């Protein structure tokens, strides 16, 4: 059964599979929650019903995404115990309280106000409803903060002592929470979540602009998304660079794997493409730019970069996956930057809503955030192998005392259920995104001359949405 795979490899596959699916949903809902809070704010501020209709449009998409994030997240919180019991026993005293705080400060906040945000506007009124939306958005950010802190501690552990029974005992919570890689990882991840949402929203806006470039809701969402693309992508590139330098300091083996460097060298090249081979310890078919690797990583063309051979073979991460996924992430990042700059240019020329090629490109880039987030995640998680807690606890020593058939059976069950359930969910999401954002019925009644096809004038923006409009 299970092709002779060990419980360890099956458990790793299970974790990789379930967390990959899970990560997609919060990556989208973090940005979407903030987007919804901002739309809600604009509606209250400008008294413009268009923002409320956009809110209702994206609210449903958020609800479906959030639901899938919740159910796939619970799996993770129990998987630490089922498959990784030794890790839980040893690190639970450090990791557990961080996740405990995530539940207490974030999950309850999101869940408590989600019902009011989705269903309660008529019952509590606009202002309290806005407050509820704000709390949900805040909850998603707080949640990200704690879980990134926990993950970062596993990458760059600090503030602990080791007890006689092998447990990691917290000595300094400040040092644990604000461990060396945490601030960089947090900024990089949260910006990634915002960009993921921005490009998804931009694609939806572009899709509807291609059908009707006068659709006001489509214009608003496309414009907002392109502002995000133009302004946040450069920030993200800076944040990513800083995160990379932090990794070089604390996890140089991960950097060596990402760069495909086996030999330690001064004036190291930047390998654009190639195929790292851990057997021969060479990166085959490499296309290189001399000195650039050292320049980027040490900001000195003659700087020394450690190669994988600095570490014993058993202490190295596998190079191929981080090497490829890192390039996918960076490549998508620069495509995002191009789209953002292109949109700025066209906006300046007053052609933002008219250029079909921009719209087509934006649709093509719709999934780019999701792919980049996953690629970045694989880079950092595979790159920290062979450890679960970097330098302290090996992945192979973290496992539960479970039989391979148990892990394999549950893995197959997860694969089947996830593809059925989340496949259907993604299908419904796409169908929700295909809905044409409606102009309001009341507007059509009151202003029958403003039918589809006529550019909405500024007069519309001053009209307040009736409270029980929907």
Within residues 135-164, the interface with other proteins by CB under 8 A covers 163
Number of residues that bind other proteins (CB under 8 A): 74
Sole binder of other proteins in the list 162, 169, 235, 289 (CB under 8 A): 169
Residues from 95 through 134 that contact other proteins (CB under 8 A): 95-97, 99-105, 107-116, 118-120, 123-124
Residues from 379 through 398 that contact other proteins (CB under 8 A): none
Binding segment for other proteins among 62-70, 222-230, 242-250, 349-357 (CB under 8 A)? 62-70
Tokens of 348: 């300046």
**Smaller CB separation from other proteins, 264 or 396:** 396
Tokens of 206: 């572009």
**Minimum CB distance to other proteins, residue 424 (Å):** 7
**Cα gap 29→45, rounded to integer Å:** 24
Residues from 404 through 443 that contact other proteins (CB under 8 A): 405-406, 410, 413-414, 417, 421, 424-425, 428, 431-432
64 lies in the site for other proteins, by CB under 8 A: yes
Q: What is the DSSP string of 156-189?
A: S--SEEE-TTS-EEES-HHHHHT-TTHHHHHHHH
Cβ neighbors of 338 (< 8 A, separation 6 or more) are: none
Binding segment for other proteins among 88-96, 245-253, 439-447, 454-462 (CB under 8 A)? 88-96
**Smaller CB separation from other proteins, 89 or 288:** 89
Nearest to 81 by CA among 99, 67, 104: 99
**Minimum CB distance to other proteins, residue 64 (Å):** 5
* Three-state secondary structure call for residue 231: helix
81 lies in the site for other proteins, by CB under 8 A: yes
**Cα gap 438→426, rounded to integer Å:** 22
**Smaller CB separation from other proteins, 402 or 447:** 402
**Smaller CB separation from other proteins, 46 or 467:** 467
**Smaller CB separation from other proteins, 61 or 363:** 61
401 lies in the site for other proteins, by CB under 8 A: yes
CB of 151 within 8 A of CB of 143? no
CB of 68 within 8 A of CB of 25? yes
Cβ neighbors of 60 (< 8 A, separation 6 or more) are: 432
**Cα gap 333→232, rounded to integer Å:** 11
């Amino acid at each position: 059964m299970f092709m002779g795979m060990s419980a360890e490899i099956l458990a790793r596959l299970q974790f990789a599979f379930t967390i990959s699916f899970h990560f997609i949903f919060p990556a989208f809902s973090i940005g979407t929650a903030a987007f919804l809070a901002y739309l809600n704010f604009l509606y209250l501020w400008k008294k413009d019903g268009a923002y409320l209709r956009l809110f209702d449009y994206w609210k449903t998409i958020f609800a479906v995404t959030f639901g899938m994030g919740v159910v796939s997240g619970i799996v993770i919180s129990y998987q630490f115990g089922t498959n990784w019991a030794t890790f839980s026993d040893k690190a639970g005293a450090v990791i557990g309280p961080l996740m405990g705080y995530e539940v207490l400060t974030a999950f309850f906040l999101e869940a408590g106000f989600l019902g009011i945000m989705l269903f309660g506007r008529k019952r509590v009124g606009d202002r309290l409803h806005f407050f509820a939306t704000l709390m949900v958005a805040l909850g998603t950010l707080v949640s990200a903060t704690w879980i990134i802190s926990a993950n970062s501690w596993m990458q760059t552990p600090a503030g602990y002592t080791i007890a006689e029974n092998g447990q990691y005992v917290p000595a300094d919570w400040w040092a644990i929470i604000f461990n060396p890689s945490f601030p960089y990882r947090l900024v990089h991840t949260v910006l990634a979540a915002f960009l993921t949402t921005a490009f998804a929203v931009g694609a939806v806006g572009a899709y509807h602009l291609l059908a009707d470039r006068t659709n006001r809701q489509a214009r608003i969402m496309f414009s907002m998304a392109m502002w995000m693309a133009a302004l946040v992508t450069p920030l993200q590139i800076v944040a990513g660079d800083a995160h990379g330098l932090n990794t070089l300091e604390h996890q140089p083996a991960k950097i060596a794997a990402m760069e495909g460097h086996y030999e330690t060298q001064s004036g190291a090249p930047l390998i654009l493409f190639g195929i790292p081979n851990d057997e021969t310890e060479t990166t085959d078919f490499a296309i290189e730019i001399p000195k650039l690797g050292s320049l980027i990583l040490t900001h000195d063309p003659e700087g020394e970069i450690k190669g994988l051979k600095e570490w014993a073979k058993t202490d190295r991460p596998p190079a191929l996956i981080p090497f490829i996924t890192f390039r996918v992430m960076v490549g998508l990042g620069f495509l995002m930057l191009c789209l953002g700059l292109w949109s700025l240019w066209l906006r300046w020329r007053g052609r933002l809503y008219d250029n079909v090629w921009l719209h087509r490109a934006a649709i093509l880039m719709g999934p780019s955030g999701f792919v980049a987030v996953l690629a970045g995640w694989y880079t950092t998680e595979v790159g920290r192998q062979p450890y679960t807690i970097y330098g302290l606890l090996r992945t192979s020593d973290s496992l539960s005392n479970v039989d391979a058939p148990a892990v394999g059976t549950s893995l197959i069950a997860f694969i089947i259920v996830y593809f059925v359930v989340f496949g259907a969910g993604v299908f419904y999401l796409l169908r929700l995104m295909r809905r044409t954002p409606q102009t309001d019925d009341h507007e059509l009644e009151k202003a029958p001359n403003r039918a589809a096809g006529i550019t909405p004038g500024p007069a519309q923006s001053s009209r307040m949405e009736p409270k029980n409009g929907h």
